Amino acid sequence: MNPKLYASAIEKKKGPIFIPFTVLGDPDKKTSLSIIQALIENGADSLELGLPFSDPPADGPVIQAADTRALAAGITVDDCFDLLTSTRSMTDIPIGLLVYFNLVLQRGIDKFYKDCAESGVTSVLVADIPLEHSEEVISIAKKYGIAPVFIISELTSEERMQKIAAIAEGYLYVVSYLGVTGVEESVLEEKISAILARARKYTDLPLCIGFGISSPESATSAIKAGVDGVIVGSRIVREVPNIENVATICRELSEAVRNAA
């Protein structure tokens, strides 16, 4: 897939994009696909999908519980790639994958990214791989046309931000606060604006914010701070497996992003 799909999505929408997140295979394979379809049909401009993992250090209790449900249902990485292929058949929007490095290593780095390409994945964020050890992963990702996505935060130094900007593709994931996902936090527009201003000195990639976006109000605040995209995970995952509730939350957040632009 084209790593510039995120920038194209923003250009097409003429404003910030809405990126909902769910865990692949939660609570089972069939329901998971229905949830993804509900996200697509209710305003998703892009998707971020997680591979279920037994020990996700960046994720809070809501997403940890989703991982547990998927693993308890027997979901494998092969199942996840089946779901990704089915998702790609339903939409041409960017599909981002959030994964922990152990799952990439278990499959083999080359095979993992080859499978990503064949199933229509646009980008991969390996949440727990440090910049200093990412060279092999980045080279193989780019070999298969998969955009490597990296996280930046208020603690990212100027030197490190410049290095990340030089190798990242797709978009940069801006952390709105320090901690794990799913914590109810107010979005501080001034703080986010400062992170964005620093990042834009080094890159023209879209800057998409995650962590702590749980309501139309917090999404609106993030847009006012100047982000190019809003990523919402725990608020949506909390409603699984109620597809109707997932659709409602997705629609409300999508409308908030559109109206705030």
Q: What average pLDDT is seen over the chain?
A: 92
Respond yes or no: is residue 55 known to be catalytic: no
Average pLDDT rounded to a whole number, residues 171-185: 65
pLDDT exceeds cutoff 60 at 167 = yes
Respond yes or no: is residue 59 known to be catalytic: yes
pLDDT, tens digit (0-9, with 9 covering 90-100), for 71-120: 999 999 999 999 999 999 999 999 999 999 999 999 999 999 999 999 99
pLDDT exceeds cutoff 90 at 180 = no
Task: Report residue 57's pLDDT band, with 50, 70 and 90 as the boundaries.
Answer: low
CATH code of the domain in which 41 resides = 3.20.20.70
Choose among 73, 74, 54, 72: nearest CA to 64: 54
Strands 207-210 and 172-175: parallel
Residue 60: the pLDDT is 79
| Selected catalytic residue, list 26, 45, 48, 79 | 48
Task: Report residue 182's pLDDT band, with 50, 70 and 90 as the boundaries.
Answer: very low
Least confident of 114-128, 140-154, 169-183: 169-183
**Tokens 């409602």 — which residue?**
248
pLDDT, tens digit (0-9, with 9 covering 90-100), for 108-130: 999 999 999 999 999 999 999 98
| Selected catalytic residue, list 11, 28, 41, 59 | 59
Q: Could you give the number of structural domains in the chain?
A: 1
127 CA to centre of own chain = 10
Task: Report residue 55's pLDDT band, with 50, 70 and 90 as the boundaries.
Answer: confident
Average pLDDT rounded to a whole number, residues 171-191: 67
The sign of the CA dihedral 147, 61, 199, 261 is positive
| 86 or 55, which is more confident | 86
Residue 54: the pLDDT is 87
Structural domain span for residue 42: 5-260
HEC states along the chain?
CCCCHHHHHHHHHCCCEEEEEEECCCCCHHHHHHHHHHHHHCCCCCEEEECCCCCCCCCCHHHHHHHHHHHHCCCCHHHHHHHHHHHHHHCCCCEEEEECHHHHHHHCHHHHHHHHHHCCCCEEEECCCCHHHCHHHHHHHHHCCCEEEEEECCCCCHHHHHHHHHHCCCCEEEECCCCCCCCCCCCCHHHHHHHHHHHCCCCCCCEEEECCCCCHHHHHHHHHHCCCEEEECHHHHCCCCCHHHHHHHHHHHHHHHHHHC
Residue 70 contacts residue 29 (beta carbons within 8 Å): no
Average pLDDT rounded to a whole number, residues 145-163: 95
Residue 189: the pLDDT is 80
Residues 6 or more apart whose CB falls under 8 angstroms from that of 111 comprise none
